[in-house]
């Protein structure tokens, strides 16, 4: 008897299979939004996937901030310190007249 219907085992997937397919698609979407931590996004329900995504997002954000801070610290260490201001002239080697002239200019 062929009434155009498929046998029950060849019919559309049941609700359980559709749910698994939707969860797999949702997981793939979340993983594509956060590829740096895709392997951390796992779960057997939408709620578990949401929790895992939020935890992974927080972790990635914290690691990025820490890396940026470390890079700033490393860059600051590599910058040569500002050279000190001009050193005052060695007054001991100057004649008295020059010492007086310099003293009058500074006051």
Beta carbons of 34 and 50 less than 8 angstroms apart: no
Per the structure, the complete domain to which residue 22 belongs is given by 13-80
Q: Work out how many domains the chain is built from and give that number.
A: 1
Q: Give the list of residues 6+ apart from residue 43 with CB closer than 8 angstroms, or none.
A: 27, 49, 51, 52
Task: Report residue 15 as tokens.
Answer: 């609700």
DSSP-based helix, strand, coil % in the chain, nearest 5: 70, 0, 30
Tell me, yes or no, whether 93 lies in a domain.
no
Extended beta strands in 2-107, E state: none
pLDDT per residue over 29-81, tens digit each? 999 999 989 999 999 899 999 999 999 999 999 999 999 999 988 887 776 66
Tell me, yes or no, whether 37 lies in a domain.
yes
Full-model pTM: 0.57
Tell me, yes or no, whether 3 lies in a domain.
no
């Amino acid at each position: 008897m062929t009434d155009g219907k498929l046998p029950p085992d060849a019919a559309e997937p049941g609700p359980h299979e559709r749910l698994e397919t939707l969860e797999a698609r949702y997981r793939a979407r979340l993983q594509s939004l956060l590829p740096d931590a895709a392997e951390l996004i796992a779960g057997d329900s939408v709620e578990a996937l949401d929790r895992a995504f939020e935890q992974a997002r927080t972790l990635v954000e914290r690691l990025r901030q820490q890396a940026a801070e470390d890079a700033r610290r490393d860059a600051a260490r590599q910058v040569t310190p500002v050279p000190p201001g001009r050193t005052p002239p060695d007054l001991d080697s100057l004649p008295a007249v020059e010492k007086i002239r310099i003293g009058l200019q500074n006051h």
